[in-house]
Amino acid sequence: MNKKSDLKHLLWVSIVFWGAAYTAIEAPFSLVFHGRIHTWQLVLDAVFSIIFGLDFYFHYKEIKSLENSKSYTKRLKAPKPFAKYTFLTFDFVACIPFDLLGAFIGLPHVFIILRLLRLFRVYKIVQTINEMANVPTWFRIQVIAIISLIVLNWIACGWIAIYPKPDDVSVTSYFIKCFYWTITTVATIGYGDITPTTDGGRIYTCFIEIIGVGMYGIVIGNITQMMAAADRHKEQTREKLNDLLLFMKHYHIPHHLQEAAFNHYNHLLSKRLTDNDEKIISELPHALQDEIQIYMKIKLISAIPIFHGLGHECLKEVAKSLEQIYTAPGDYVIRVGEMGHEMFIIAHGSVDVSIADGTIVANLHDGQIFGEIALIKETTRTANIISQSYCDLYKLTDENFKILTKQFPKLLENIEKNTQRRPTDKK
């Protein structure tokens, strides 16, 4: 799945999640207050039933496509018949608009509770998140916040079921009071201004105090863990730069060299090219390492004009042939008059193009190419290429260039068109 469809999927899951959360909060609330169902509740019931209906349909289609897939690994992912029918039944019941049915055909009030089957979706969403490798922090925080709210609301409703609302107090004011009791009990603050007066109430309070400690710990623990993960990379960067500074000071390294070293580190760190990243990839199986690197190269080159209109197959072959190199400011990547054996793509950074007398004729940067003339015309280099900043370049050898342009003539056509536009490259 790509980033866009990942985001779309997460947004859809969020909508379904909100629908389930609304039901999980509203159903016990309506039950304990025996409230009249308002028109806005009927409208929301209809909207969420449609959303759940769509979700049921998407889910059904997904299961069918897994079952009928030609790929063995995909077929393995399809749920077993028991799980499939259980999931689908729960999902189907969740689509039924019980509030609407209650209002129009007079279902007993207790049927509201059947809508809680929508909660099953919350469980499935949590499962989906646990299976996904890369879930954004905003989504995780949203899930934790809503689940906490649902649980707190239930606890408050439980208290209301034991101590029903007196007639002279409004629903809002009584709910706020009970919610306040819930928070002070779960957080083990217990001011003691609202206390149980019956055995049932005392047992309930004991129970809530015990689960409250656990719940509090889980929520705080999860949020702390997420914050720490988001900050880890920044912390590593700070540590590296600190070490570098101490090293420079200890050995009295001249100022211009210090600056060059800091620039280089900043460049690597800003691109996340840390030792740690390389270590993470190096621990994966070789075949997977290669696939990830090819994927990253395809992502980079697909945005470059000379690769526009070329199929995935071509991009993949080019990506396989590219080798990454780094250059520092002032490095000569190409010297005029030499024989050329490779061309380059600038992934990041900028280079100057100068002719034999040293005049700079152009400046090339991210996404542009150079060194192609010597390969196309089989002549010597027509200009010098000097790194102007720290650059990440991708190198394509003469041999691979020949193989690729033979296999994909459109690639050669695009490169030649790019070369003809050269005079306009000057900044």
413 vs 425 by CB, closer to ligand CMP? 425
Compute φ and ψ for 339, nearest 5 degrees.
Answer: -75, 145
Phi-psi region of 309 (alpha: psi -120 to 50; beta: other; left: phi over 0): left
Q: Which helix (H) or strand (E) holds 110?
A: none
Helical spans, DSSP H, in 96-136? 98-105, 119-131
CB of 363 to ligand CMP, least distance (A): 8
| CB nearer to ligand CMP: pick between 157 and 334 | 334
The residues of the shown chain that bind ligand CMP, judged by CB under 6 A, are: 334, 340, 353, 361-362, 370-374, 381-383, 385, 422-423, 425
| Nearest distance in Å: CB 336, ligand CMP | 7
Cβ 367 to ligand CMP, closest distance in Å? 14
Q: In the 8-state DSSP scheme, what is residue 309?
A: T
Q: Which is nearer to ligand CMP, 117 or 334 (CB)?
A: 334
Residue 335 Cβ, how far from ligand CMP at the closest point, in Å? 9
Assess contact for 334 and 340: CB atoms under 8 A.
yes
Tell me the two tokens of residue 198.
Answer: 């019956």
From CA 248, how far away is CA 229, in angstroms rounded?
30
The DSSP-derived string for 356-369 is TTS-EEEEEETT-E
Residue closer to ligand CMP (CB basis): 365 or 422:
422
Nearest distance, CB of residue 339 and ligand CMP, angstroms? 10
Pick between residue 156 and residue 393 the one whose CB is nearest to ligand CMP.
393
Closest residue to ligand CMP: CB criterion: 374
The nearest distance, CB 397 to ligand CMP, in angstroms, is 13
Smallest separation (angstroms) from ligand CMP to the CB of 380: 8
CA dist 345 and 304 (Å) reads 9
Select 21 or 383, whichever has its Cβ closest to ligand CMP: 383
Write the CB contacts of 57 (distance below 8 Å, at least 6 apart in sequence). none
**C-beta of 221 vs 337, nearer to ligand CMP:** 337
Of 30 and 327, which CB lies nearer to ligand CMP in the complex structure? 327
- The DSSP string of 54-89 is HHHHHHHHHHHHHHT-S-HHHHHHSPPHHHHHHHHH
Residue closer to ligand CMP, measured from CB, 395 or 422: 422
- Do 163 and 201 touch, CB atoms closer than 8 A? yes
The least CB distance from residue 354 to ligand CMP, in Å, is: 9
Q: Which regions of 355-426 does DSSP assign to beta strands (E)?
A: 360-365, 369-370, 384-387, 391-397
Q: In what order do the strands lie in the sheet with 369-370?
A: 323-327, 391-397, 342-348, 369-370
Helix (H) or strand (E) holding 245: helix 199-250
- Cβ(426)–Cβ(362) under 8 Å? yes
| Helices and strands counted in the chain (H then E) | 16, 8
Check residue 163 and give left, alpha or beta (phi > 0: left; psi -120 to 50: alpha): beta
> Which position has the token pair 């190198």?
395
Distance set, CA 60 to CA 52, 65, 92 (Å): 12, 9, 10
Residue number, 181 or 370, with CB nearest to ligand CMP: 370
Minimal distance, residue 317 CB to ligand CMP, in Å: 22
Cβ 294 to ligand CMP shortest distance, Å: 25
